[in-house]
Amino acid sequence: MSKPVSLVAGNWKMNGQRGSWKEIDSLITKIDKEAPADCEVLICPPLTLMALFAVDASQSKVQIGAQDCHQNNKGAHTGDVSASMIADCGGSHIIVGHSERRADHQETSALVHDKAVSVVENGMKAIICVGETEAERDAGDAVKIVLDQISQSVPSTATSETVIIAYEPVWAIGTGRTPTVADVEEIHTAIRNSLIDRFSSDGAGFSILYGGSVKPSNAKELMGAENVNGALVGGASLKADDFNGIIDAYRP
Ligand SMILES: O=C(CO)COP(=O)(O)O
């Protein structure tokens, strides 16, 4: 039975210019020198920077990924980019089903499923995001909503080597608010049990990240919770010191 890999991933969203490289370059050097024990580090910048970062980081322990992809490999899809193109640029992971894409682009779990299949078929890892809104939590439906998203978004061909789950409560993203550790553990343990039900012993090996207002001051507590195997970080991944402070949670 494989053990989940710990991962700290930065999602830059629609932020960052070519000059951002200078700050992140010094962070990558620091991470390479003081590599955290047993923890992978991933940065998902906007696509305009991805290829540049992937080339510069090719000798580094820091991996580079993307924030979304089209579900098809090629074709007449103006403005879209495929998983095969991202692999071609040196990407190792692609985030799919982020709540901002589910909300801004009406992405359904069925579409997220197809994107995840394409990511895996192109030899990368899919980070599949799930999470409830505040109204759904207040109605007592958080576990049900998240498990429905998991069952519809995670492909039946998924393995612990190819798919990572990120639990991101929508109301915690960019708000400075986080669930209690007990609430995080309730959802992550429900996700873990559903993965074991579906994928037998391999379900125990999937990495399950927490995302939503992670910062250096709460990283150790959130990432130390049961069945939490790392973090998907938004705002705090844009500042090298903050991102490094979060990675510190995994340094001995
Ligand atoms: O959406 C997120 C990462 O994908 C979380 O964003 P924040 O860390 O800014 O809350």
State the closest ligand 1 atom to the C-alpha of 213, by its place in the atom list counted from 1.
10
Closest C-alpha residue for ligand 1 atom 2: 234
State the pLDDT at residue 107.
98
Per-residue burial over 17-54, b if 16 or more Cβ lie within 10 Å, else e, is eeebbeebeebbeebeeebbeebbbbbbbbbebbbebb
Question: Which of 132, 168, 186, 188 does the annotation list as catalytic?
Answer: 168
Residues with Cβ < 8 Å from 217, sequence gap 6 or more?
Answer: none
Question: Which of 70, 93, 98, 113 does the annotation list as catalytic?
Answer: 98
What is the domain extent for residue 239?
6-250
List, for residues 95-137, the tens digit of each pLDDT value: 999 999 999 999 999 999 999 999 999 999 999 999 999 999 9
Q: pTM for the whole thing?
A: 0.97
**203 is an annotated ligand-binding site residue:** no
Q: What is the CATH number of the domain that holds 145?
A: 3.20.20.70
State the pLDDT at residue 76.
98
Helix, strand, coil in percent for the chain, rounding step 5? 45, 15, 35
State the pLDDT at residue 1.
56
Pocket test for ligand 1, best of 11, 12, 222 (most atoms within 8 A of CB): 11
State the pLDDT at residue 123.
98
**CB 10 near ligand 1, within 6 Å:** no
Q: Does a structural domain hold residue 209?
A: yes
Q: Does a structural domain hold residue 1?
A: no
Q: What domain count does the chain have?
A: 1
State the pLDDT at residue 135.
98
List, for residues 77-106, the tens digit of each pLDDT value: 999 999 999 999 999 999 999 999 999 999
**171 is an annotated ligand-binding site residue:** no
Predicted confidence band of residue 73 (pLDDT cuts 50, 70, 90): very high
- Angstrom distance (rounded) from CA 249 to CA 219: 6
- Angstrom distance (rounded) from CA 67 to CA 49: 12
**CB 232 near ligand 1, within 6 Å:** yes
Cβ neighbours of 180 (radius 10 Å):
11
Q: Which helix (H) or strand (E) holds 192?
A: helix 181-199
- Compute, in angstroms, the gap from residue 200 CA to the centroid of ligand 1: 30
List, for residues 153-197, the tens digit of each pLDDT value: 999 999 999 999 999 999 999 999 999 999 999 999 999 999 999
Predicted confidence band of residue 220 (pLDDT cuts 50, 70, 90): very high
Pocket test for ligand 1, best of 167, 178, 214, 222 (most atoms within 8 A of CB): 214
**How large is the average pLDDT for residues 54-70?**
86
Token pair 């873990």 is at which residue?
192
